[in-house]
Structure 1
Amino acid sequence: MPPQRPTLLQVAQRAGVSRSTASFVLAGRHVDMRISEDARQRVLRAARELDYRPNLMARSLRTKVTRTIALVSDTIASDPYAGRAIQGSLAAAVAHGHLLFIGETEGDPVVEEKLISDLLDRQVDAFVYASMFTRYVRLPKLLRGRKVALLNCMTRAGRPAQPAIIPDEVAAGWNAAQVILEAGHRDGIHLVGRPAEHVFAGRERAAGIREGLAQGRARPAGTIECDWWPEPAYEAVRAALAGGLRPRALICLNDRIAMGTYQALGEAGVTVPDDVSVLSFDDSDLAAWLRPQLTSIALPHYQMGWRAVELLLNPDAEPGVVRVPMPVRNRASVGKPFEPT
């Protein structure tokens, strides 16, 4: 049998104080209860010597507060890259003295309802509702009216009822344009990808790029349209080069597109960054693996996870969309425009 855990009464007896005095000291209420410093030190010493730990279950039954948070996601728990959001959430929860439960639904509404119901049965205090991709969501019925922060997603409500933490994709696009402009590019700047209206990241990145280029009195020369994966990007860029396109700078809408772009450029004998500059978004592991290493605008998953929990635990937090900056990771894929001799 496991050893019996020491009780609060045993701590009080060892310290020579009443049980209520020991309770107030261990709850940090020695000042407002006017408990002497000598008594406080005796209680703390007794608790250390007995290796006393409070019964959190009993406390939660009494206070109706469990100091627990549940993070419910579609697939980010099993994605090693987006999983940084979970790391940030965990770190913030620990910093605020809370435990974090993590559940993944794989986008199945039946699984989601059962998971949330089970978590409510365990009396978690609040929820982080998270998405792998930035998108609009409908808050599950079981979470309506409860303490919730949205992570990497938003609701379409005219007056949001909770904070929603998303990456600042428009500013990221603007920053991407500035990197290209500061390198000296004004002409031959092409987007690679498909900035479809229904894809939040693509739509906002493209809008920011156009806005940033316009401020520098430039504009995209065109778009090489493709799906957001290496193979279609390779095929599209290869076809464009074979058709006579000679770009000066390529802004890829994510790192997977950049990988396919590198392959097509290398096959055509086009050198990065001497002949063409390449810039991308996400700052996944691919960005550092490619040669030359890829300049990319980072998705701030860790910071978003941290911010979601901080806002969730802040009683003064206002509902609404919070955009987290996406930092530029400058590497070796952007250079000055090629000038033929």
Structure 2
Amino acid sequence: MPSRVTLQDVADRAGTSRTTAHYVLTGRDRDMRIAEETRRRVMRAANELRYRPNLMARGLRTRVTRTIALITDTVATDAYAGGLIYGALAAAAERGYLLFVCETEEDPELEAQLLGELADRHVDAYLYASMFTRDVELPAELRSERVVLLNCRAPGSGCPAVVPDERAAGRDAARALLDAGYRDGIWLAGEPDQLVIAGMERTAGIHEVLDEAGVALAGTVPCTWWPESAYEQFGALLDAGTRPAAVICMNDRVALGVYQALTARGRSVPADASVVSFDDSDMAVWLQPPLSSIALPHRELATAAVELLLSDVDLTDTELRVPMPVRLRESIAPPG
């Protein structure tokens, strides 16, 4: 392998001292009153030799490496949340930073190993991310570092968090049905698990808007957030003779199960029941009819987190809520 071109190589090619070459290549030539001809020789020599500064060595001296790390549980290998990775990469690159992406698979030993290796590389700051919005415990290795939590929270840590505005999303979902004219027969499908922030906040937002309108949910279908459970439990509701006028589904997977349960019984969306959901995953536009869904803004979350991480503001206890866009499609129609 060819040896790396050094600053001394550039100085030798330009016929200057190493110090002079250093000042030119770090943009300090004017401060040091270096002649224009000398500056040109140094720049020409650097281009001819394809010199690249040793950022690792510089980082060891200055303690600034212009690198940040994204520590995730299973985000990196999940196509659904790929926008988090893309958004973080783009935002870091735009600001001249290199992003390390590390996935822990929720293995504490692997996480500790990765954090140790990142510390050895003198990473400037960290994003600590979760696949779904939840409370986490900040690793001990990060408690003295500059950290922004992405799509999660760590109560008591003092760390700032960037999360989707799930409560506002719940309000938007309920409002979409009210605006379409629904006042009776609105059902909620999916368990509002107390351990899942999205479930709690979406449900709270739904009740907030319905209560203001003097409307009550007709009931809740207690299914898990997967199509199979939604198909079975919502199907059982239909078989018992209940005819929901509209359904708010906790996520698009639940909505898929609701669609299938209706279809299996000769009913359709929205003629027999309007449906609105959350997440706006790829399946939302592929369902027939296309599903109205409140989107998870993965890319915007990551961009906001990088901006906050690299800002000069005091980050203590900040919680930034990112709006969730409303995607209204053909799954909602006025009551028949």
Q: TM-score, normalised by structure 2?
A: 0.92
Find 1:310's aligned residue among 307, 310, 313: 307
Which residue number in structure 2 is paired with residue 295 of structure 1? 292
Look up the equivalent residue of 2:181 and give its one-letter code: G
**Which position in structure 2 is the counterpart of 1:336?**
334
Moved more, 213-222 or 292-301: 213-222
Residue 276 of structure 2 aligns with an amino acid whose one-letter code is L
Determine if contact 2:60/2:122 at 8 Å carries over to the other structure: no
Query: Quick one: structure 1 residues 226 and 329, their matched pair in 2 at CA, closer, same or farther if it must change by over 3 Å?
Result: same
Q: Distance in 1 between matches of 2:30 and 2:209?
A: 56
1:262 is aligned to 259
- Segment drifting more, 326-335 vs 4-13: 4-13
1:138 aligns with 2:134: no
> Structure 1 residue 181 and structure 2 residue 171: aligned?
no
The match for 1:90 is 89
SS of the residue 1:306 aligns to: helix
What is the rounded CA distance, in whole Å, between the counterparts of 2:38 and 2:49 in structure 1? 17
Provide the C-alpha distance between the structure 1 equivalents of 2:27 and 2:177, rounded to a whole number of angstroms.
55
Shift of 1:280: 0.5
* Residue number in structure 1 paired with 2:240: 243
Correspondence 1:126 to 2:125: yes
Aligned equivalents of 2:51 and 2:213: distance in 1? 65
Paired residue for 1:234? 231
How far 1:233 moved relative to its partner? 0.4
| Residue deviations 1:260-312 (CA, integer Å, cap 9, x gap) | 00001111222211221101101111112211111111111111122222211
Is this contact kept in 2: 1:75–1:131, CA < 8 A?
A: yes
Report the 3-state secondary structure (helix = DSSP H, G, I; strand = E; otherwise coil) of the residue aligned with 1:77.
coil
Moved more, 227-236 or 96-105: 96-105
One-letter code aligned to 1:155: A
The one of 320, 323, 330 equivalent to 1:322 is: 320
Deviation at 1:173, TM superposition (A): 0.6
Q: Which deviates more, 37-46 or 222-231?
A: 37-46
Give the residue type in structure 1 aligned to 2:22. S
- Conserved 8 A contact 1:73-1:105: yes
Over 3 Å counting, the alpha-carbon distance change for 1:182 and 1:57 in structure 2 is same
Matched, 1:284 2:284: no
Give the superposition deviation at 1:20.
3.6
| Structure 2 CA distance for aligned equivalents of residues 41 and 184 of structure 1 | 73
Which one is further off, 286-295 or 110-119? 110-119
Contact in 2 for aligned 1:191/1:220 (Cα 8 Å): yes
What amino acid maps onto 2:129 in structure 1? A
Question: Counterparts of 1:81 and 1:30 in 2: how far apart (Å)?
Answer: 49
Q: Does 1:7 align with 2:6?
A: yes
* Counterparts of 1:31 and 1:316, CA distance in 2: 32
User: Identity of paired residues, percent?
Assistant: 57
Shift of 1:14: 5.1
**Cα RMSD between the aligned structures?**
2.1
- Seen in structure 2, the aligned counterparts of structure 1 residues 270 and 65 have a Cα distance that, compared at 3 Å, is same
The letter for the 2-side match of 1:334 is I
SS of residue matched to 1:82: helix
**Aligned counterparts of 2:279 and 2:113: Cα–Cα separation in 1:** 33
SS of residue paired to 1:102: strand
Point out 4+ residue stretches in structure 1 off by more than 6 angstroms: none
What secondary structure is seen at the aligned counterpart in 1 of 2:68?
A: strand
**Aligned-partner SS, 2:202:** helix
**Cα distance in 1, alignment partners of residues 240 and 63 from structure 2:** 68
Match of 1:57 in 2: 56
Using structure 1 for the length normalisation, give the TM-score: 0.90
Distance 1:125 1:81, change over 3 A: same
Q: Distance in 1 between matches of 2:138 and 2:238?
A: 46
Give a deviation string over 1:307-331, Cα, whole Å, max 9, x none.
2222112122423211111111222
Give the letter aligned to residue 328 of structure 2.
Answer: N
Q: Check if 1:172 corresponds to 2:174.
A: no
Gaps of 5+ in 2: none
* Local SS of the residue matching 2:231: helix
Which has the larger displacement, 188-197 or 41-50?
41-50
Amino acid at match of 2:71: V
Question: Aligned ranges for residues 183-202 of structure 1 at < 5 Å?
Answer: 183-202=180-199
Q: Which residue of 1 aligns with 2:272?
A: 275
Q: After the TM superposition, which of the residue ranges 21-30 and 267-276 deviates more from structure 2?
A: 21-30
8 A Cα contact 1:311 1:317, kept in partner: no
Distance 1:185 1:26, change over 3 A: farther
The residue type equivalent to 2:198 in the other structure is A
Cα separation, 1, equivalents of 2:24 and 2:179:
60
Please tell me the residue identity of whatever aligns with 1:222. Answer: G
